[in-house]
Structure 1
Amino acid sequence: MDYINAFLCGGFLCAIGQILIDKTNWTPARILTGYVVTGVALSALGLYEPLVNWAGAGATVPLTGFGYALAKGVEKAVATDGWLGVITGGITATAAGITVAIVLGVVVSICCKPREKR
């Protein structure tokens, strides 16, 4: 049942993104940032944690999950470090994901022949 819940939640979040791409004039960058901000806002309101408990990776892997990780990192860092945690918490909580994205971006750029878009 965990796989079904993850599929339903992740598929729903991706379907919303696709609808926004198809039906609005929003750029993918605006949709991306909107998803991250939505994850942070839902985490701040306490609404995203139950979704994570229900859907697991279906809620933590999409971009809203990145916002959730940022919010949780800030919450934890503020509890231990005070107001300095507002600055350091999100970066600490998402450092592994950001590092992987940068390293894989470099690897792909080395392995693939870049060319101008036509």
Structure 2
Amino acid sequence: MEIFWEYARAFLCGGILCLIGQVLIDKTPLTPAKILVIYVVSGVVLGGLGVYKYVVEFGGAGATVPLTGFGYLLAKGVEKAVREQGILGALTGGITAAAGGIAAAIFFGYLVALIFKPKSKS
């Protein structure tokens, strides 16, 4: 029964983040690109302040998979690298922490492009 509640919390957390994004798209003049930036920066700021870890504890994958989770991962990577390497870690920590996810996104995006032969929209 515990696994059900874990899934329910992830669905609720991810759903709320998506709902906020949809409201921003529908009710404000913000473009999707600006909303993307707002989500990533929000994840970095909330992660840096130590607030987003509570959202992750509650929502699990519902908090780490969306764009705010990517920002949170960047903030955690920078924090760890600064502790280990000093100020230089502020420049390298975020990318080091996110390298696996970035590499997977590039690889699978390329693989899908090979399989489905994308075409221009025009």
Q: If the length of structure 1 is used for normalisation, what is the TM-score?
A: 0.94
Runs of 4+ in 1 over 4 A off after TM superposition: none
Q: Which moved more, 1:15-24 or 1:89-98?
A: 15-24
Two-structure CA RMSD over aligned residues (Å): 1.1
Q: 1:65 aligns with which of 69, 79, 86?
A: 69
In the alignment, does 2:115 pair up with 1:80?
no
Name the SS for the 1:8 alignment partner: helix
In the alignment, does 2:30 pair up with 1:29?
no
Name structure 1 gaps, 5 residues minimum: none
Cα separation, 1, equivalents of 2:103 and 2:14: 23
Cα separation, 1, equivalents of 2:78 and 2:64: 16
Cα separation, 1, equivalents of 2:103 and 2:118: 22
Deviation for aligned residue 1:116: 2.3
Counterpart of 1:83 in structure 2: which amino acid? I
Q: 1:104 aligns with which of 99, 103, 108?
A: 108
Deviation for aligned residue 1:101: 0.8
Cα separation, 1, equivalents of 2:119 and 2:62: 35
- Give me the identity figure in percent: 62
Name structure 2 gaps, 5 residues minimum: none
In the alignment, does 2:20 pair up with 1:16?
yes
Q: If the length of structure 2 is used for normalisation, what is the TM-score?
A: 0.91
Deviation for aligned residue 1:107: 1.2
